[in-house]
Amino acid sequence: MYSMVGTRPDLAYPVGLISRFMSNPIKEHWQAVKWVLRYIKGTVYTRLSFKKKGDFVVKGYCDSDYAGDPDNRRSISGMVFTAGGNVVSWSSSLQQIVALSSTEADYIANLSEAVTEGVWLKRFAEELGFPQDSVEFPCDSQSAIALSKNAVHHERTKHVAVKYHFIRDLISCGEFQISSSEDSQ
């Protein structure tokens, strides 16, 4: 687990998936463990590298896989944050709720959970003496972008819990800037 958390974000998903079956493993799970070990052996010289260039600006990326877990149909969320072009935070996790649409999965993953992490990183960077403008956050879901910026409730999205709508406040006060991922390329 340490290698995944401390040094290898590429192992976050497979180790997290395999660890769900530790109490009752079967042959397929052992085969998956062996696959991960072979992967580690083949990528032993792969590492995170940090470079000193550019401004220390926090930027976030994330995505979700709608109903990607075959066992319970929950969506899988992944996010990564960079500062000065270097990876400083990452996560891959199973969403706690079952999303009823890809918009809801993207809104919860891309904008709620990741923005919470981004707020903390932005404030931490400012506390360290690196002033931050709004955190740039490219998103590949046009419907999630529209939902985050539009305070008007729509019949198809009114079931999305109010606790996820705090993003609108952060966007309106300028702390976060949500844009289409095509715009940032």
- Residue 77: is its pLDDT beyond 90? no
What pLDDT score was predicted for residue 52? 79
| Torsion-angle region of 128 (φ positive above 0: left; ψ -120 to 50: alpha; else: beta) | alpha
Q: Which domain holds residue 24?
A: 2-42
- Residue 29: is its pLDDT beyond 90? yes
Q: Which of 25, 36, 13 is nearest to 90 (CA)?
A: 13
Residue 64 and residue 23 share a domain: no
Say if 129 falls within a structural domain: yes
What pLDDT score was predicted for residue 143? 81
Residue 160 and residue 87 share a domain: yes
Say if 87 falls within a structural domain: yes
Share of the chain above pLDDT 70, in %: 84
Residue 100 and residue 64 share a domain: yes
- Residue 68: is its pLDDT beyond 60? yes
Do 77 and 107 touch, CB atoms closer than 8 A?
Answer: no
Residue 75 and residue 20 share a domain: no
From residue 168, how far is each of 69, 137, 140, 162 by CA, in Å? 29, 14, 18, 11
The pTM (predicted TM-score) of the whole model is: 0.72
Q: How confident is the model at residue 162 (pLDDT cuts 50, 70, 90)?
A: low
Residue 160 and residue 78 share a domain: yes
| CATH number of 72's domain | 3.30.420.10
Give the 3-state secondary structure of residue 60: strand
What's the mean pLDDT when you consider all of the chain?
82
- Domains in the chain, number: 2
What pLDDT score was predicted for residue 126? 94
Distance of CA 85 to the CA centre of its chain: 17
- The contacts of residue 125 (CB under 8 Å, 6+ apart) are 56, 58, 83, 132
Residue 26 and residue 102 share a domain: no
When comparing pLDDT for 5 and 145, which is higher?
145
- Averaged pLDDT, 123-148: 87
- Residue 31: is its pLDDT beyond 60? yes
Q: Which of 91, 111, 101 is nearest to 66 (CA)?
A: 101
Residue 96 and residue 8 share a domain: no
